[in-house]
Amino acid sequence: MHTQSPHDDALVLYEERFNSRFLLGTALYPSPQVMQDAIEAADCAMLTLGLRRQNPGGGNADGDGDAFWQILRESGCHLLPNTAGCRSAREAITLAEMSRELFDTPWIKVEVIGDDYNLQPDPFGLLEAARELVEQGFKVLPYCTDDLVLCQRLQEAGCQALMPWGAPIGTGRGLMNRYALRTLRERIDVPLIIDAGLGAPSQAAEAMEMGFDGVLLNTAVAKARRPAQMSAAFARAIEAGREAYLAGLMERRQTASPSTPTLGQPFWHATP
């Protein structure tokens, strides 16, 4: 029988191979040092980052010297800029173009927010932005809901990987709609990465066991009491979940069946 270990089981996104299935965010850490330690412990495929308006006098006079940027650069990790905070396709496209120049990368996590309260993606704006950016040659990873038809349209638009939410950003609620997510996994044949809403390594493992290709998270690590320890825990859970998926999980059954055969044990016939 052929066994596949996670080590020769690379995540492939837009024909590029990644040795980890863990994507980590870089916001909300208590200090840059803590972030750096969490990044090292995660050994992740990609680091997400954002863009924000920079006023004159802001940032550091020595440009690349600023602590945040230096840590990201030193990590040697692949960078995945996002379009967080955008509320229309137009805004997301412009921000994607700006980040392509700034980070010299065609990768973009496209995020178009439709509702401020639960930060729910706007499917219409997202699809429009994704179409245009794919056209422009970006490697688009859209942050989307778990809606099957939206995901199909995004795939038709040329997205070679999708990032459905587990739950709203920062809530830590885990996989809220397993039915929808299972449907996505069955029906969509490009890589699917669960992005947002995960709070515990067990939830990440569950997503991986269901056959998702990767996990992107931020708050669960950054807001843990010891972020580096938590990112190591997530890294292992993601690997374990992936390995379990490859190993093939048993189906649940109604009737108990003993794992130790009782027939042939001494005294079995003596039980009343």
Partner 1 sequence: MKASDPMHEITLSLNGEPARLPEGTPLTQALEAWGYGERRVAVAINDAFAPRSTWPERTLGEGDRIDIVAPVGGG
Partner 2 sequence: MNATPQRRFAIAGAGLLGRLTAWHLLRDGYAVSLYDAGDLDTPPAAAWTAAGMVAPLAETVVSERSVYEMGQMALDRWPGWLAELQASELWHQHGSLVVAHPQDGNELIQFRRDLADTLGEGALYQELDGSGIHHLEPDLTRFRHGLFLADEAHLDNRELLTRLLGAIRELGGECHAHTPVEVHPGEVTTPTGTHHFDLVIDCRGHGAKTNHPTLRGVRGETLHVTTNEITLTRPVRLMHPRYQLYVVPKPNGRFVIGATSIESEDRSPISLQSSLELSSALYTLSPAFAEARILEQGVNLRPAFRNNLPQVTLSDGLISANGLFRHGYLLAPAVVEHLLSEIRGHGDNPFADLLDGSAPRRPCRESE
Instruction: Please tell me whether residue 158 binds partner 2 under the rule CB under 8 A.
Output: no
Exposed/middle/buried for residue 140 (C-beta within 10 Å: 0-12, 13-18, 19+): buried
25, 92, 93, 109: the active-site residue: 109
Exposed/middle/buried for residue 91 (C-beta within 10 Å: 0-12, 13-18, 19+): middle
Instruction: Please tell me whether residue 137 binds partner 2 under the rule CB under 8 A.
Output: no
Residue from 4, 5, 16, 74 binding partner 2 (CB under 8 A)? 74
Return the one option of partner 2, partner 1, none that residue 185 interacts with (CB less than 5 to 8 A, by type).
none
Q: Are 12 and 39 in contact (CB under 8 A)?
A: no
Q: Decide whether 77 or 134 has the Cβ nearer to partner 2.
A: 77
Q: Choose the binding region for partner 1 from 93-101, 174-182, 206-214, 227-235 (rule: CB under 8 A).
A: 93-101
Q: Decide whether 54 or 262 has the Cβ nearer to partner 1.
A: 54
> Nearest distance from residue 81's CB to partner 2, in Å?
16
Question: Which residues partner with 164 through β-bridges?
Answer: 144
What the block records as the tokens of 231 is 């990112």
Q: Are 120 and 151 in contact (CB under 8 A)?
A: no
Residue from 12, 102, 247, 249 binding partner 1 (CB under 8 A)? 102
What the block records as the tokens of 191 is 């890589």
Is residue 197 annotated as involved in ligand binding?
yes
- 109 part of the active site: yes
Return the one option of partner 2, partner 1, none that residue 102 interacts with (CB less than 5 to 8 A, by type).
partner 1
Exposed/middle/buried for residue 197 (C-beta within 10 Å: 0-12, 13-18, 19+): buried
Instruction: Please tell me whether residue 103 binds partner 1 under the rule CB under 8 A.
Output: yes
Is residue 219 annotated as involved in ligand binding?
yes
Residues within window 173-212 making contact with partner 1, judged by CB under 8 A: 196
What the block records as the tokens of 262 is 């009782």
Residue recorded with tokens 């729910």: 120
265 φ/ψ angles, rounded to the nearest 5 degrees = -75, 150
Q: Are 123 and 145 in contact (CB under 8 A)?
A: yes
Q: Are 200 and 10 in contact (CB under 8 A)?
A: no
- Alpha carbon distance 116, 111 (integer Å): 13
Residues within window 212-231 making contact with partner 2, judged by CB under 8 A: 223, 225
Residues within window 62-81 making contact with partner 1, judged by CB under 8 A: 62-64, 68-69, 72, 81
Is residue 199 annotated as involved in ligand binding?
no
Residues within window 42-61 making contact with partner 1, judged by CB under 8 A: 48-59
Which residues would be at the binding site for partner 2 (CB under 8 A)? 30-34, 36, 40, 52, 54-60, 65-68, 71, 74, 76, 170, 223, 225
Query: Which residue ranges make up the annotated binding site?
Result: 170, 196-197, 218-219
Catalytic residues: 109
